[in-house]
């Protein structure tokens, strides 16, 4: 049996990596300095996931909070989102089909990395200390990304790009991968919004107002085939709703009108025994909804105390800086993101070799025992493909695994 290495980024490197971070600029995308910046964030994200899945001390989270670097993650996520809509289409028009997917993939994947780090860090209440006014920018970003999951037209930016008929087209591959990224980011943003609601006691009052009033969107019917088992992300939605409705900090900002009373009452049918068995804290929400329905009277008018509302600054500052300059920016970025210089691409690949190291990625992904399906940290020392939680499970599964193990070993020889 082979053991995992303990770290992707060593403890003494984590502090140095986080300390060296600063916001990037759009002009630097694809340069070697930007690739090195992306590498550090990607490795820190992998280390963070490793710490969480291993139930270890979360050093990455602690250093981001103590060094007040969470702002960088928020800025980077918003900057990539703006770039996708403003500069990326110009890049495609100017350059057409890229010769490889590597450079553009790195830029698009950058957003996934920073959102994943934000999700991991914001789980902890200590993170509220570093958010300050940037929480408004984060709420706007997260809500828009979640809305993209519900709006079929949200991916039109990718649908409108003209593709050739080659099934092996690099551009086609990038756009298909980006749709996966968009979904992943949206799902993570559900968790982020849930965590921000739980942090209501420690974030600016205007943030609560923005969550409950500014983004009070319309209700939608759930599809019949979507009913049933509660998955992780659906659970996050329920927890967020529970926190919004039951947290005394939020109630002054959310008036229960006749319309809201009618819509909220409909939730009771979904809080049946099967759901409550899976998510016990929702029992309290069901009781509150039952009381609301029985009383039949909406609450008094919300007493929102926010007189001066803060507005998000990050996105507007990026848009203002590059106003009417997106095509010029795209021409500049083309030198790096659409380069055909084999030497430059090789150097870039070398910089990011650690990020896409298959062995390291194996450590981040939760492996299941081939015998009992429990999380496993050890694997067959012969083929290194089968994972087991214990020696007993490996022995038990040996008759099933033996033939496959021999085939894999012979193939590698």
Give the pLDDT score at 330: 96
Give the pLDDT score at 369: 77
Q: For the segment 351-408, what is each residue's pLDDT rounded down to a tens digit? A: 988 887 655 555 555 567 777 777 776 778 777 777 788 888 888 888 878 877 776 6
User: How many other β-carbons are positioned within 10 Å of the β-carbon of residue 99?
Assistant: 13
Place of tokens 């939020």: 250
The token pair at 330 is 């795209």
**Rounded to an integer, what distance in angstroms lies between the CA atom of residue 89 and that of residue 288?**
48
* Average pLDDT of the residues in 136-142: 90
Domain boundaries, the chain: 11-202+311-362, 226-295, 378-412
* Average pLDDT of the residues in 209-222: 54
Evaluated on CA atoms 345, 348, 353, 358, the torsion sign reads: negative
Q: For the ranges 213-217, 232-236, 239-243, which has the lowest average pLDDT?
A: 213-217
Task: Indicate whether this model's pTM tops 0.85.
Answer: no
Q: For the segment 35-88, what is each residue's pLDDT rounded down to a tens digit? A: 999 999 999 999 999 998 888 899 999 999 999 999 999 999 999 999 999 999
Q: Is the pLDDT of residue 31 over 90?
A: yes
The helix (run of H) or strand (run of E) holding residue 202 is none
Distance from the Cα of residue 129 to its chain's centroid: 21
Those residues with Cβ within 8 angstroms of residue 209's Cβ, 6 or more apart along the chain or in another chain: 253, 304, 306, 309
Give the pLDDT score at 325: 96
Q: Which segment, 70-79, 150-159, 185-194, is predicted with the most confidence on average?
A: 70-79
Distance from the Cα of residue 170 to its chain's centroid: 25
Q: For the ranges 106-110, 153-157, 390-394, which has the lowest average pLDDT?
A: 153-157
């Amino acid at each position: 049996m082979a053991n995992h290495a303990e770290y992707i980024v060593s403890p003494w490197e984590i502090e140095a990596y986080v300390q060296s971070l600063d916001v990037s600029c759009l002009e630097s995308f694809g340069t070697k300095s930007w690739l090195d910046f992306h590498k550090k964030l990607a490795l820190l994200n992998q280390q963070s996931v490793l710490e969480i899945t291993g139930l270890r001390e979360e050093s990455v989270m602690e250093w981001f909070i103590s060094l007040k670097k969470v702002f960088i993650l928020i800025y980077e996520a918003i900057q990539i989102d703006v770039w996708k809509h403003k500069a990326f289409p110009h890049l495609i028009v100017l350059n057409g089909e890229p010769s490889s997917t590597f450079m553009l993939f790195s830029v698009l994947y950058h957003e996934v990395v920073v959102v994943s780090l934000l999700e991991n860090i914001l789980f902890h209440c200590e993170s509220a200390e570093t958010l300050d006014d940037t929480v408004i920018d984060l709420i706007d970003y997260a809500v828009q990304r979640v809305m993209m999951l519900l709006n079929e037209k949200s991916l039109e930016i990718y649908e409108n790009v003209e593709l050739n008929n080659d099934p092996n087209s690099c551009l086609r591959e990038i756009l298909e991968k980006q749709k996966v990224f968009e979904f992943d980011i949206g799902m993570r943003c559900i968790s982020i919004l849930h965590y921000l609601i739980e942090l209501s006691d420690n974030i600016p009052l205007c943030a609560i107002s923005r969550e409950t009033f500014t983004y009070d969107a319309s209700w939608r019917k759930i599809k019949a085939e979507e009913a049933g088992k509660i998955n992780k992300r659906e659970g996050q939605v329920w927890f967020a709703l529970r926190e919004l409705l039951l947290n005394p900090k939020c109630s002054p900002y959310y008036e229960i009108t006749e319309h809201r009373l009618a819509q909220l009452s409909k939730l009771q049918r979904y809080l049946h025994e099967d759901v409550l068995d899976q998510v016990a804290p929702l029992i309290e929400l069901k009781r509150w909804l039952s009381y609301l329905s029985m009383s039949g009277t909406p609450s008094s008018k919300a007493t929102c105390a926010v007189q001066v509302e803060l507005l998000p600054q990050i996105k507007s500052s990026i848009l203002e800086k590059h106003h009417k300059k997106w095509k010029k920016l795209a021409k500049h970025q083309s030198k790096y993101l659409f380069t055909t210089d084999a030497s430059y691409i090789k150097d870039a690949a070398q910089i990011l070799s650690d990020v896409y190291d298959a062995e390291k990625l194996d450590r981040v992904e939760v492996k299941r025992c081939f015998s009992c399906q429990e999380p496993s940290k050890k694997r067959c020392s012969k083929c290194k493909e089968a994972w087991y939680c214990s020696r007993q499970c490996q022995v038990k599964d040996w008759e099933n695994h033996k033939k496959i193990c021999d085939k894999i070993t012979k193939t590698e020889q």
